Structure 1
């Protein structure tokens, strides 16, 4: 199983990717979350110029944020800067859309978008929004077409699985491991957590800073996919809802997604302090070195071929080192 990493795109992401390459990570993915991040393509270009071996790419692109020509051109540019190191993943938009008040894009739109995007990279004339178009980049403006780049698709259910099988080269899963993960030779799984010391409590300051942002996704996901009733069943869920529902309904998505994958927002902190931290080991890859290693063995056995770990907290280097040590056993 390959061991990769991911980062919420930030001004220091290129530095972190350089570090990940030095430590031995196989690939580094950056999120496409413009409501809280600098531009993912600009940041990947900076990383490409400063690295030599590590794979890089956006994980995941949200189709509605850019025209397929814009993403195809950006992909070609990155392939020119980092030959044979680029992969691209697409998703329907969790925080990339929901943090702006939108729902996920339909799978029919996703399939049409990826079809147009891949056709453009092959040099074909494609139709989009009623117009015929083609990548017209002269020599020196982009690599010659076709531009061959692997495409992974973020999917959890049967519709997503169908699009992945038809349009993708592999699967990019998060929040849970789908039943069909072993149907793909390339199955990346994005996870959060932290390696705890053997005697460390799950409510330690280190656990909160390094494991908390990933743990909070259990609340965010429950709210987005199951509604308030699903959140109330979780430890600290009532306290979390008290904070979120104090926000006007038309801005409630801002209270839910603030600090996404970076830090605990006020609602998350209320839930954590109310006992939510007790589920840290259950909803993330957190645990002692041996516990994390066993969890990774289980993921490998289920069909995951690439574990993608996102470090959190103030000491990214320590988190990357701890996780890589646990992964290697």
Structure 2
């Protein structure tokens, strides 16, 4: 790493860690991200496909001292909201107040193997956020929904106001994020829709009198290995994308069925060849090694995006070398 990258100051960058192997194997990457100055460490919550997200986040918290830590992204189905609230409050204690919650509707790669259907996803996310916040505030809750219930439930600990960021790829989840979130993750959004998503979220934040933190998550692509990883990363994301996105790229129901079947049989590596090459470019940032960071930065400034989230990559150090120099320390970010 370039020593100048790790100078004092916080960068509007986040990294994503996926615990496919032992949790200890991720901790060097977490420490590297903190040394570089990254703002957040997101930990994938992918059910049976990875080690437990909350255990992993606790290990990250104990191995770092400044970087913010949260799931990227959890869902309202695999855990009861009361359990999520307790885990979040505990992580916040362990980390010295660095926890945040990233939450969305959950995808097929996580929910499918557990036999869980996404029942009323917008309602499920909204009520989960309401429950988690209420428990963190110390209130006694009685709630019912299609996915959970609370009966005079109260937590005797927790920090009110822990940041909650919603995530999704469709307009309805973005609308919900604008109404109830502290922030929103624009996850692998087709470039034709990115500006409209940002504008709608900014408008929603202004209407309720508080700004949203907008996070853009996608992959910088500078060579063939990046491109191949992007195809793999798009498998489950395209399968779960709204119909408007599939129509824009010419992805049929037959394509979706084939990708989902391959994902069930062998995960993203087995389905990657079904993602057509021409589908990849609209979802990623393509450039040279000496320009891709500036492309990310200029896009953020042009659209008013606050943070950039790196997805899981094979070589985090190399990815940060591409991005971090484009963000001078102390530079005011859009918002």
Q: Cα offset for 1:134?
A: 2.8
Task: Name the structure 2 match of 1:3.
Answer: 13
Task: Name the structure 1 match of 2:231.
Answer: 215
The answer on 1:20 being equivalent to 2:24 is no
* Aligned positions, number: 294
Task: Name the structure 1 match of 2:324.
Answer: 324
Task: Name the structure 2 match of 1:106.
Answer: 121
- CA distance in structure 2 between the aligned counterparts of 1:135 and 1:165, rounded to whole angstroms: 27
Please show how residues 217-236 of structure 1 align to structure 2 within 5 Å.
Answer: 217-224=233-240, 225-226=242-243, 233=250
For structure 2, list consecutive stretches of 5 or more residues without a partner in the other structure: 1-10, 204-210, 330-335
Distance 1:41 1:223, change over 3 A: closer
Does structure 2 retain, via aligned residues, the 8 Å contact 1:40–1:58? Answer: yes
- CA distance in structure 2 between the aligned counterparts of 1:270 and 1:283, rounded to whole angstroms: 16
Q: Provide the alpha-carbon RMSD of the alignment.
A: 3.4
Distance 1:145 1:23, change over 3 A: closer
Does structure 2 retain, via aligned residues, the 8 Å contact 1:185–1:305? Answer: no
Give the 3-state SS of the residue equivalent to 2:177 in structure 1: helix
Give the 3-state SS of the residue equivalent to 1:44 in structure 2: helix
Deviations 1:27-66 (A, max 9, x none): 1111111121111110010111110111111121111010
Task: Name the structure 1 match of 2:212.
Answer: 185
Which residue among 116, 133, 148 is the counterpart of 1:118?
A: 133
Please show how residues 39-58 of structure 1 align to structure 2 within 5 Å.
Answer: 39-58=52-71
Task: Name the structure 2 match of 1:132.
Answer: 151
Q: Cα offset for 1:326?
A: 4.3
The answer on 1:175 being equivalent to 2:188 is yes
Instruction: Please give the TM-score of this superposition, normalised by the length of structure 1.
Output: 0.76
- CA distance in structure 1 between the aligned counterparts of 2:128 and 2:188, rounded to whole angstroms: 24
Give the 3-state SS of the residue equivalent to 1:35 in structure 2: helix
Does structure 1 retain, via aligned residues, the 8 Å contact 2:138–2:158? Answer: yes
Give the 3-state SS of the residue equivalent to 1:304 in structure 2: coil
Give the 3-state SS of the residue equivalent to 1:127 in structure 2: strand
Does structure 1 retain, via aligned residues, the 8 Å contact 2:168–2:186? Answer: yes
Does structure 1 retain, via aligned residues, the 8 Å contact 2:74–2:104? Answer: yes
Give the 3-state SS of the residue equivalent to 1:32 in structure 2: coil
Q: Cα offset for 1:162?
A: 3.8
The answer on 1:268 being equivalent to 2:272 is yes
Task: Name the structure 2 match of 1:306.
Answer: 307
Give the 3-state SS of the residue equivalent to 1:80 in structure 2: helix
Does structure 1 retain, via aligned residues, the 8 Å contact 2:89–2:159? Answer: no
Q: Cα offset for 1:16?
A: 1.4
For structure 1, list consecutive stretches of 5 or more residues without a partner in the other structure: 138-143, 197-201, 260-264
